[in-house]
Amino acid sequence: MKLDWRGALRDWQDHYTSVDLQHKALEWWETGKVRKISKDAPADMQAELVRMTWLNDQELWAIANSMMSEEGQKQLADLSDLQAQRQLTQDERETMNALRQEYGRTTLRKARAYALLSMRGGRLLLADD
């Protein structure tokens, strides 16, 4: 594993040499500290969620503030309304399932970004003041 001081790793450069950081990253990985919220995520997203650990704050805020496209949101709402009126066709069900999956994946990325930002800042970002 090769690590450099880009992004969030820059915060650790005064505490560890690059070799020490590699050992620390391995320790974090083995103890599950890096994987804290990804264990219940879909298997195909776990690596992506773990990699988010190494993003800088600006990149994490972009993910935290991201949203499903307006078109996707509208299509999902329309299909939900339609489903309340009648049984969906096979194509409509497949589209709705794909949109729900996209929504869920977006939500998992956002949750991971907020969790990482909270840990870095030492306070819960979504907690009541």
Question: Would you list the domain boundaries of the chain?
Answer: 34-121
pLDDT in tens, 62-82: 999 999 999 999 999 999 999
Asked if 107 and 115 count as a contact pair (C-beta separation under 8 A), the reply is: no
Three-state DSSP class for residue 28:
helix
Band (123; pLDDT cuts 50, 70, 90): low
**Tokens at 55, concatenated:** 């993003």
pLDDT in tens, 19-43: 665 666 666 655 655 545 556 778 8
Backbone phi, psi, residue 125, to 5°: -75, -30
Band (4; pLDDT cuts 50, 70, 90): very low
pTM of the shown model: 0.66
Report the C-alpha gap between 115 and 124 in whole angstroms.
Answer: 8
The CA-atom distances, in angstroms, between 32 and each of 37, 119, 125 are 9, 15, 22
